[in-house]
A = this chain, B = another copy of it.
Amino acid sequence: MKAEIIAVGTELLLGQIVNTNAQYLSQELAAIGIDVYFQTVVGDNKERLKEAIRQAQGRADVLVFSGGIGPTQDDLTKDAIAEVLGRELRTDRPAMDKLTEFFADRGVPMTENNKRQALVIDGCTPLPNATGLAVGVAISSDSHHYIVLPGPPSELKPMFADQAKSWLLHQVLTGEMPIYSRILKFAGIGESALEDKLLDLIDAQTDPTIAPYAKEGEVAIRLSTKAENIQEANVRLTALEVQIQSRLSEHMYASEDVPIEETIVKMMADMGLTVSAAESCTGGMVMQSLTTIPGSAAMLRGGIVCYSNEMKEKLLNVPHDYLEGTDAPGAVSEEVAVVLAEQVRMIADADFGLSVTGVAGPGYSERKPVGLVYIGIAEKGGKTEVFELRIKGNRETIRKRSTKTLLYRLWRRLVQAEKQG
């Protein structure tokens, strides 16, 4: 089964945004055994879009579209497909009800153009949009299969994962031996170091296959096998997973595609442990990351963003002579990381206290290099650890790596606590 991904949007052709949807869809299609042969980007122009559709019909079985289904006059994806297929557009009642409710809730009138978001192609399976207003489309016609998804990744991803994928599996991929995949997630290790440790397995792979799985700031691999059923697949995938886990036990935190935050929230909730954080250069990123996970209220007490030295002194009792004076270690120091972690733990009456203080740059004094970061972990009745990081990269890279490394270190502590407990 061959696929072509067609992204629609002049903003892509002008280079205003990057086509991350093509990456996501390529990974997801590969995972269910559909090979992507072409990715195409076309502007908001109906004739060129129709030309792209006809070309794709000549070289692919499955055409997956992203973008061009919003409320504006430029949004023409459904119109173009309908014309190529010789079908009409019709209003999807549930989508229109959602639109009506959306505008009624806000007490603003719904403009005419917004109604376009409820249009679907006659004869299709409408794909409800859980995180937006434009309804998607799945339709088979003349031995081709078409899926139409919204452009914003926050809408495209759930619509693909929750609606389109199952349509493909049940309506399109019938009779093929299904591919079963498992994602393994790693922290505290880079992609090339990981591959190095698995080189013999990667070189010898036939079935299951081992493929790197790109995720922003995270390291993951995907194991895949074709099998008659999930039991058969699980036997093979688990055998390989056990081999990999034994080589990388200090880094492998999950055998499903979850961020390390989710593993931490679950472990702490299960163990009845709580955490709080004092963040300087990350400005709240550690707590913000943990609170993306539903259920984090059970383990995160809260904490303090101590961006200024005054806040460090006033709210976290950092001694003034740690921060200022010729012999002071300064705000970015092991000493301050210790105080921040221990104090915030006590203030919040939590089991663990986390701290981050560093130079995210650009332009910071204290005569310390950009990328120098101290992260701390204090524990009720346990020892306080501080790690010195030296991170290369820009401001956001430094802040994100600091956050990810602190979460990795917290996970290691929880694994130890679990063993001892």
Which A residues are within 8 Å of any B CB, using their own CB? 9-20, 22-28, 30, 35-43, 48, 51-52, 55, 59, 70-74, 102, 105-106, 108, 111, 113-114, 130-132, 151-154, 158, 181, 191-193, 195-196, 202, 211-216, 222, 257, 277, 279, 281-288, 290-292, 294-297, 300-308, 310-311, 314-315, 347-349, 360-363, 390, 392-397, 399
Contact = CB atoms under 8 A, between A and B. Distances in A.
B154 A294 contact: no
Given A16-B222, A18-B18, A315 B191 contact: no
Contacts of A294: 361-363, 395
A297 to B, nearest CB: 6
Nearest to A35: B13
Which of A111, A305, A392 has the most chain B CB atoms closer than 10 A to its own CB? Answer: A305
Chain A contact residues, majority secondary structure:
mixed
Nearest to A192: B71
Given A113-B195, A284-B285, A305-B284, A12 B41 contact: no
Contacts of A73: 195, 202
A192 B115 CA distance: 11
A190 to B, nearest CB: 9
Given A72-B212, A283-B291, A288-B288, 7 more contacts: A12-B23, A14-B26, A14-B181, A15-B30, A40-B40, A131-B397, A294-B362
Contacts of A397: 131, 154
A131 B30 contact: no
A299 to B, nearest CB: 10
A84 B132 CA distance: 45
A97 to B, nearest CB: 13
A48 B4 CA distance: 13
A420 to B, nearest CB: 26
17 contacts: A12-B26, A13-B38, A15-B36, A16-B222, A18-B20, A19-B19, A37-B43, A39-B41, A70-B191, A70-B214, A72-B192, A73-B202, A111-B196, A113-B192, A285-B288, A291-B307, A296-B307
Which of A30, A283, A306, A308 has the most chain B CB atoms closer than 10 A to its own CB? Answer: A283
Given A18-B19, A71-B192, A212-B74, A13 B26 contact: yes
B16 A214 contact: yes
Nearest to A394: B131
Contacts of A306: 302
Number of copies: 2
Contact of A284 (B10, B59, B279, B301): B279
A151 B196 contact: no
B114 A16 contact: no
A151 B131 CA distance: 35
Nearest to A51: B59
Nearest to A9: B213
Given A283-B300, A348-B311, A13 B36 contact: yes
A17 B360 CA distance: 26
A24 B16 CA distance: 9
Given A192-B113, A284-B279, A284-B284, A16 B213 contact: yes
A244 B36 CA distance: 43
Contacts of A295: 363
Contacts of A362: 294
Contacts of A18: 18-20, 22-23, 214
Contacts of A307: 287, 291, 296-297, 300-302
A106 B71 CA distance: 59
A306 B276 CA distance: 10
A62 to B, nearest CB: 13
A302 B297 contact: no
Nearest to A311: B302
Contacts of A348: 308, 310-311
